[in-house]
Chain A
Amino acid sequence: MAAASGWLGRSIERVEDAALLTGRGRYIDDLGVLPGTLHAAILRSSHAHANIRAIETKAAAAAPGVAAVITGAEVSALSSPLVPVLRAPLEGWPIAVGRVRYVGEPIAVVVAADRYLAEDALDLIDVDYDPLPALVDPLAALEPGAPTLHDKLGSNVASDRSFRYGDPEAAFAAAPHRIAVDIRYPRNSCTPIETFGLVADYDAGEDAYDILANFMGPFSLHAVMARALKIPGNRLRLRTPPDAGGSFGVKQGLVPTMVLMAIAARVAGRPVKWIEDRLEHLVGSVSATNRVTRLAAAVDDDGRVRALDWDQVEDVGAHLRAPEPATLYRMHGNLTGAYDIRNVTVRNRVVLTNKTPSGLNRGFGGPQVYYALERLMQRIAGELRLDPLDVIRRNLIPADAFPYRTASGGLLDSGDYGRAIEKAIDEGGLAQLLAWRESARAEGRVCGVGLTAVVEPSVSNMGYIATVLTPEERRRAGPKNGAQATATIALDPGGAVTVHIASAPQGQGHRTVVAQIVADALGLTPADIRVIGELDTARDAWSIASGNYSSRFAPAVAGTVHLAALRLRARLAHSAAGKLNVPAEEIEFVGGKVRARGNPDNAMPFARLAASDHWSPGEASDGDHVLRETVFWTPPQLAAPNDADEINAQLCHAFIFDFCGVEIDRDTGAVRIDKYVTMHDCGRVLHPGMVAGQITGGLAHAIGAALYEEYAYAPDGAFLAGTFADYLLPTATEVPAPLILHTESPSPFTPLGAKGVGEGNCMSTPVCIANAVADALGAATLDLPLTPTKICTLISSREGAAP
């Protein structure tokens, strides 16, 4: 670990910022392209569900500047469907082949000399639709006789698995109370301000594709794309630009369009560039899943929960696209949240409907699970007339139980949940907030307080998705596990240090933290270190877990950088030992110098040592040429699911305890957040400024999800949120400054003791706000988003009821 006086742990200014603040960022649409590069526009379906009788493209192909028009016919001739995680008869093409299944599904691509001409030509394409009945409600899609989206599947259920841990039947039979919640979690998305973008090229001579895209991983999808393009992986070169304008999981959704535009480039014989516009992004890119959950608990009189019974119906939209149904299984080891509950039964169904296919989105499964679980905890308190805080406290995993194995196989690495809660209550002023509520209510105002406790998982086990398969299917497919992270540190002939990471940063400031870590290890300053964040699969070290998701940077990537720096330092120390005539153990790296401990005059400049094996490798002791260090690191705790379907889906588990106070305007139904307190134990904090940024940014996303945002559909499958005037994001007046508190329980499983912190408030905050609104209105059932219309309906039903 770095010394207390080191760079790590300090909120230094980011190395990224000077360029971004002066308009010199290098985002995908800022980069030069090869001469002759064409520009693509996509014709998208206006029907939610229809067979395509014919597509007339002749006029478009003859339009000015048009080089090619590509439809499902070309794509199906030159590629294979995107392979799903499940072995199911689902044809996952990146463009409609004979049938459209959601509004916004690509039907044709025009490539032309510029984007304006390409869009002109879209208007000349004539599609003859034969409309089919559309399915929007996942429960309706389950019904016998419902129209099917994928006829070969025979129904709309792509997967139906049941799980049982402990003895849930006995626990339910013995418990005095069975308390349940019914939840419909809506669709939403974190909508980065930069949309998708890519440039694709095809080399016919080598049958190889080159794609530059603001894709964020996981790079396991590289294998899916190569297979769809019918080439070995070494013929798909995937590159990312230096800067990306946010992702929050969403840019994983570029995969089908990358395949589509690769084929467009092949057909056109020229490079093709595509920059998604905002309307396309909202209607047709990717969405978080909506989910219907019934969650029941077996509860003792004092609020102790003895068992949970989960029934989850996951709506993945029109296609099951890898890595889905990962949203449903990411939380599988954490279905008991922060609580010590040993008996769990689960039924998970994955359903197809006529909506945009789902994919990664900040929180990824956490919002859906915790909304049900933490609404349930509040309902338990309400029904048994207990204090909600006492119900939380009574069920917490005790501090002496860590590392704690959950009923479904999760391994919670560290924590002291009780202490974190007491500290939050004290420093956050819960007593004062409750007093405020009482005095406001006495004045007739509509106020409420919400609480929530969640465990925030991070660093995905690449094997967890296999939990959707049966043990027999898993045995046939072979084990999948681990989470390979990688870092490379190179020394150049001038002795300067360059670090390469494969985390595909999208604005979080990875390069700054990496520079801090390496500076600490080598006795340099962050300004001495150059960090390269863009990834090139043809040149760089990478693996399937590479990328920027499941909050893996601080625990996995930063930790791997630390290991690489330590290993390089050890090799350099060995080399310096010969030059300074002291044992390697006596060598220290301080202030840009390498010196003998205890004799600082026996020293040489770091740069001279670092350069020496470029210029005089013949002098190297025992022939170890210290030029470059690449480390791959994967935690042993991430095993494949076992035959009992137990899975540790994530490596790290941070703890969050939130509470908030809201006031509701009785006339308008508007919800105002008066106070928000969020306590985090994310292990060791590497950069407090960035951690605060992740928490506040996640809070803003969650406020949007709780109060404003919904990818809404009409009953006929028409999309109702196609602009930023319809899909409302929170602005500066809707996001209060939260009080952020910390405790630190370092993870014993990560090299730096850090845990992920990027997604927690997307899990805790929606339900915390909902619990406060439920408290204010005395409402039992509450679904997001809590729009003024919904709130006004609740107020009028409450005030209409007998006292």
Chain B
Amino acid sequence: MPRLSADARHRVAFVLNGRAVEGQAEPRMLLTDFLRHVLGMTGTHVGCEHGVCGACTVEIDGVPARACLMLAVQADGAILRTVEGLAPEPGRLSLLQQAFRRHHALQCGFCTPGILMSLDNYLRDNPDPREDDVRIFLTGHLCRCTGYVPIVAAALDAAARLREMKETQT
């Protein structure tokens, strides 16, 4: 770990959704604030800033993490993915995003980016989950609008379609 001065701003550089980005941050700046207000990537949301609600979940070096519990300088040199990186191209949605839209698995959409990041990662490692597993996995996220039922349905539907796609590809 490099030694950082609390009073100074430091260069923070990482790969975000496949592109090199950089900005200046004080050591105390949260990764959420850096993403949102320095880089302008406002898709990552802040719901509690104490690691419970999961709205700020991003993928760091392949692992889902709470961006509100991390300092920006800790992400220096890492590979990050955020909700802005999920869709294959502008105007198109990923299979998981499509499933959320089809099942009305979001209402206000504020918790959704974090849930999408977690599920995107989860379904890669767990292509054929049981409903109970999805429910237990989702306990790391708080949603106040949907009652979770359509989120679970969307996740299972997306998993099925992802499996289908893989089968047709092989």
Contacts and interface: CB of A to CB of B under 8 A. Distances in A.
B163 interface: no
Interface string B132-159: 0011101101111111111110000000
Contact of A20 (B44, B82, B109, B139): B109
Contacts of B136: 732-733
Given A194-B108, A507-B110, A116 B48 contact: no
A689 interface: yes
B152 A732 contact: yes
Contacts of B87: 21-22
A193 B86 contact: no
B138 A731 contact: yes
Interface stretch (B35-43, B59-67, B70-78, B122-130): B35-43
A506 B108 contact: yes
A247 B53 CA distance: 16
A278 B151 CA distance: 24
A29 B46 contact: yes
B110 A21 contact: no
A763 B69 CA distance: 36
Most buried by B among A14, A25, A27, A723: A25
Interface size class of B (residues with CB under 8 A): 35 or more
B29 A116 contact: yes
Contact of B104 (A22, A191, A689, A735): A689
A278 B50 contact: yes
Given A14-B104, A18-B101, A696 B149 contact: yes
Given A193-B47, A733-B139, A507 B145 contact: yes
Interface in B83-129: 83-84, 86-87, 93, 97, 100-102, 104, 106-113, 116
B112 A20 contact: yes
A25 B109 contact: yes
Contacts of B29: 116
Contact of B93 (A18, A191, A248, A692): A18
B55 interface: yes
A697 interface: yes
Interface string A217-247: 0000000000000000000000000011110
A190 B141 CA distance: 16
B107 A23 contact: no
Given A18-B93, A194-B47, A696-B149, A23 B144 contact: no
Given A244-B108, A245-B45, A13 B52 contact: no
Contact of B146 (A11, A22, A693): A693
Most buried by B among A14, A23, A29, A731: A23
A507 B138 contact: no
A801 interface: no
Contacts of B104: 11, 14, 509, 689-690, 692-693
B28 A116 contact: yes
A689 B101 CA distance: 11
B145 A21 contact: no
A193 B53 contact: yes
B141 to A, nearest CB: 8
Given A20-B112, A23-B41, A733-B136, A725 B50 contact: yes
A193 B139 contact: no
Nearest to A23: B43
A725 B52 contact: yes
Contacts of A87: none
Interface in A711-747: 723-725, 729, 731-733, 735, 737-738
Nearest to B98: A21
B108 A193 contact: yes
A89 to B, nearest CB: 38
A508 B138 contact: no
Contacts of A729: 142, 144
A733 B135 contact: yes
A321 interface: no
Contacts of B53: 193, 278, 724
B112 A21 contact: yes
Contacts, number: 175
A700 interface: yes
Nearest to B46: A29
Per DSSP, chain B at the interface is loop
Interface in A495-525: 506-509
Interface in A5-35: 11, 13-14, 16-18, 20-25, 27, 29-30
A29 B146 CA distance: 22
Nearest to B91: A18
Interface string A103-116: 00000000000001
Contacts of A701: 144
A699 interface: yes
A23 B113 contact: yes
A237 B129 CA distance: 51
Contact of B100 (A17, A507, A509): A17
Contact of B97 (A21, A278, A737): A21
Contact of B44 (A13, A23, A279, A506): A23
A203 interface: no
A17 B150 contact: no
A464 B155 CA distance: 44
Contacts of A27: 42, 45, 110
A22 B49 CA distance: 22
A508 B108 CA distance: 7
A116 to B, nearest CB: 7
Interface string A729-769: 10111010110000000000000000000000000000000
B26 interface: yes
A674 interface: no
A243 B151 CA distance: 20
Given A23-B113, A116-B26, A277-B49, A693 B150 contact: yes
Nearest to A195: B47
A193 B142 contact: yes
A21 B144 contact: no
Nearest to B131: A737
Given A18-B93, A701-B144, A731-B148, A192 B110 contact: yes
A516 to B, nearest CB: 14
Contact of B147 (A18, A689, A735): A735
Nearest to A740: B149
A246 B141 CA distance: 15
B110 A14 contact: no
B110 A193 contact: yes
Nearest to A244: B108
A299 B15 CA distance: 72
The 5 A-B residue pairs with the shortest CB-CB distance, nearest first, are: A23-B43, A507-B108, A245-B110, A20-B109, A696-B147
Interface of B: 26, 28-29, 36, 41-50, 52-53, 55, 82-84, 86-87, 93, 97, 100-102, 104, 106-113, 116, 134-136, 138-139, 141-152
15 contacts: A13-B101, A16-B109, A21-B93, A25-B43, A27-B110, A30-B36, A193-B45, A193-B55, A193-B143, A245-B111, A246-B107, A279-B49, A693-B150, A697-B145, A729-B144
Given A21-B109, A692-B150, 6 more contacts: A193-B53, A696-B147, A725-B52, A729-B144, A732-B148, A733-B136
Interface of A: 11, 13-14, 16-18, 20-25, 27, 29-30, 116, 190-195, 243-246, 248, 277-279, 506-509, 689-690, 692-693, 696-701, 723-725, 729, 731-733, 735, 737-738
